[in-house]
Amino acid sequence: MSKFYNSIKSLYIDMRTNNVFFQTFSIKFNNVNADCIFSIQDEPFELIFIRKSDAQVMKIDIKKGFTLDIQNKFSEFYKFFNIRYGKGNFSLISFLDYLSSKIPKNVDILSNDERRLIYNSIEIEDSKKIYYLSLTNWDKVNLGKVKKGGTRSAKNLAKTQLLFPHIYEAVKDKDISINYSSKPTGKKFELKDLD
């Protein structure tokens, strides 16, 4: 098995174990700096490269068996990494070995910068608001009311699953919405907030 296979599979297993659907890391290949997002939210999985100099995005699917589906993307790949065409200018095996050395061994909790990076690359509700603000317990809001005042949306739950997997685990079976702010709040979610 290749180094890439072992690295990406190991990260995938840790992501599944920790209920994390996105992991970020950075690379510098052929003097091109890029942020990378490994997404296991949908199948096929994706490896998303974002060139830091101009925010150019390149997405490559990861097929079953953890192989990059790059056959039809070589032209885009060469342009993205400024690789000259010609014999001996590029080796996919060397690139995968290099990429393997940059793939995190374990899941990291996303920093605010990493959340922003994912938000700019993946379509999600209210993308400017990524900071935890508060929660709304709709069971309490609607208690005793004949007509319900609201309920959690599927988009809110999906956003929470993406940004805060630990909060998602605590609220997924409850009618609770997580409220977000576009500015850092310094607020932390605590289980006692659910009471």
pTM value surpassing 0.75: no
Which segment, 62-71, 132-141, 156-165, is predicted with the most confidence on average? 62-71
Least Cα distance to 8 among 81, 127, 103, 108 occurs for 103
Averaged pLDDT of the chain:
83
Mean pLDDT of 11-40: 89
pLDDT confidence of residue 187: 74
Exposed/middle/buried for 59, CB within 10 Å: 0-12, 13-18, 19+? Answer: middle
pLDDT tens per residue, range 84-128? 887 877 888 889 999 999 999 988 776 777 777 766 666 666 777
Residue whose token pair is 């999985």: 45
Start-to-end CA distance of the chain, whole Å, equals 49
pLDDT confidence of residue 88: 78
pLDDT confidence of residue 122: 66
pLDDT confidence of residue 119: 66
* Upper half-sphere CA count for residue 160 (Cβ side, 13 Å): 25
Task: With a cut of 90, say whether residue 29 has pLDDT above it.
Answer: yes
Task: With a cut of 90, say whether residue 31 has pLDDT above it.
Answer: yes
In the chain, where the domains are located: 3-121, 131-194
